[in-house]
Structure 1
């Protein structure tokens, strides 16, 4: 069932829909620009604080629109400077947002690159066997405003105590955006596409398209739709298995869209955007960390001219999987490099704060 908030958030609106609303209300068009400047340039989506709007207008608009629909519940900060936010939505649903910081290459240690990872759904319906997001099942899609609201909350927290971003100087203190949190972004395509519009547009955050990445487990029609969106963002594909046999074992979506069909859609995306695609590959002991999988993955990555992120499995309570030992991780990555593949072997971030997708939400709901 589709969620309907009591009042839509102002963050649910685009410049076009807001203009149409104001016109119907006989409010001058220039007020729309002021409202969007408050929301996106100043980071204030609350009409009560929009001081250059007449009081009666603020009160009237406040009756029709909510501000930020995302309410912080719990912040955690790990020893490696990974932050995780658990938030509550209007209907009581919980979602997670993660802020990951890493030193910038060639820059002093006082500078870091901040990446914010947002959720697009409450839970997930795609049942990847290694992921905590779907353990409690799928509840609903997030609205455009609920997706965008996460960025505002992360910005508020970051501004309180942390070193400002090396790239951004406004209330958006992060440098990269990834749709890799709870849920399958492509299964909530319209809201995600709308959020991307607000992030990238001149009237919105004005965030560079090359700094926005959407991750998918492999919804083929939506990958093509994303390619045709007209905003040259980046694509990350959660592959996690280099053959249909292995991938189907841990990712049920592969039975609907097998690897050959998925790769055809990825090629289409790459041709439209002329950007390197990233293949995400979580390394799971005795499942997909074999020599044969490394060789098969090398062939896929070379054919797509893709970068590979090898990610040691982040242990989830209640799931059977284990991460390979460090030696096996490095051997897997070495095979890729020896076959001419660009590869990064990720190191675990935020384990002490349950930073893997869905873990903190699951723990909070179980304890409640």
Structure 2
């Protein structure tokens, strides 16, 4: 097999990896060793897999690769948030963001190149959907972050990357098969071993796949709600025309029992000045989610070039949160991170596209 058509082992599940190794005349035991080298130790060179026979290492190097994703750009904020523009072999680019906090480190992962949902307040929504990411390309974002953070330490208490949120570019449930495959690799205890309790999948509300996600993955669910009336949500989140609020919330009521009793559905609510931030909106939100074990993430809008939306003022945000909290729901106000490094989702990619066009 020539070098330019070598298959990347990153993104193969355990069954597929075992089959690939079997084709080389080796046992499934060797596949387990290779899996641990890739996902537990973070090795990207077959020659460094020292418990494999030299003959197997040679065969692997001849037929396969462990190629990492390319970095087009890396930005580090004053608050230590890191944002990467990552390029794949077909030159398409996506973003991943690492957000360090005192008790955890969260990686925001993309699932598609661009997006098809056209949410009016979202910068990624201004970009056309190019294609879905493969399972390997989704996992590659995690591997890159761990490489960049020098985080290949299997002791959980020493990890820098502890949590994953599928909240980057794209709608994860419109690429469900690849997202599910990637997350199963990420959760596998023989490798990266990130617990489903520390993984959150955010969706704009693809109702038919919400239940499947709960049954097969059991990860935390976050809903990009952002409005309490269908007429407004139809504008902010156009998929609402197909899956309206009432049906979406019914799906959430069914999803919550698939989790352990202490799990909650998170509702994401971006605060847009004069659009969705009134006291009446807050009270209606409380009424709508009654009976759902829930937390509401209140998100100050991160303005991006070209948008007409403005962020609600601090007093309005605080009042909105108070109404929700008084009704018995946690409603943390998300602290803006990485605002000095093009932090709005999709913004770094847009800047890259503009630079390429200006150079031609």
Please indicate the TM-score interval, normalised by the length of the shorter structure: over 0.9
Deviation at 1:6, TM superposition (A): 4.5
State how far apart, in whole Å, the 1-side matches of 2:326 and 2:154 are: 35
Residues 331-352 of structure 1, C-alpha deviations (whole Å, 9 max, x = no match):
1111111222211111211110
Computed over aligned residues only, the root mean square deviation of the Cα atoms, in angstroms, reads 1.9
1:240 to 2:226 alignment: yes
Give the corresponding residue for 1:61: 60
1:300 to 2:288 alignment: yes
1:174 to 2:161 alignment: yes
CA contact (8 A) 2:24 2:59 kept: no
Unmatched segments (≥5 aa) in structure 2: none
Residues 46-83 of structure 1, C-alpha deviations (whole Å, 9 max, x = no match):
32432332334223323433314411121111112211
Report the CA distance shift for 1:290/1:8 in structure 2 as closer, same or farther (over 3 A): farther
State how far apart, in whole Å, the 1-side matches of 2:250 and 2:45 are: 44
CA contact (8 A) 2:227 2:269 kept: yes
Task: Select 1:186's aligned residue among 173, 181, 190.
Answer: 173
Report the CA distance shift for 1:6/1:327 in structure 2 as closer, same or farther (over 3 A): farther
State how far apart, in whole Å, the 2-side matches of 1:316 and 1:166 are: 39
State how far apart, in whole Å, the 2-side matches of 1:147 and 1:179 are: 10
SS of 2:332's partner is: strand
Give the corresponding residue for 1:314: 302
CA contact (8 A) 1:69 1:145 kept: no
CA contact (8 A) 1:71 1:89 kept: yes
Report the CA distance shift for 1:228/1:7 in structure 2 as closer, same or farther (over 3 A): farther
Judge which range, 65-74 or 340-349, deviates more. 65-74
- Map 1:329-340 onto structure 2 (within 5 A): 329-340=317-328
SS of 2:186's partner is: helix
| Number of matched pairs | 350
CA contact (8 A) 1:39 1:46 kept: no
SS of 2:126's partner is: coil
Unmatched segments (≥5 aa) in structure 1: 105-112
Deviation at 1:168, TM superposition (A): 4.1
Residues 261-320 of structure 1, C-alpha deviations (whole Å, 9 max, x = no match):
111211121111132110000111111111221111112333212000000110011111
State how far apart, in whole Å, the 2-side matches of 1:70 and 1:158 are: 15
State how far apart, in whole Å, the 1-side matches of 2:48 and 2:355 are: 37
Deviation at 1:247, TM superposition (A): 0.9
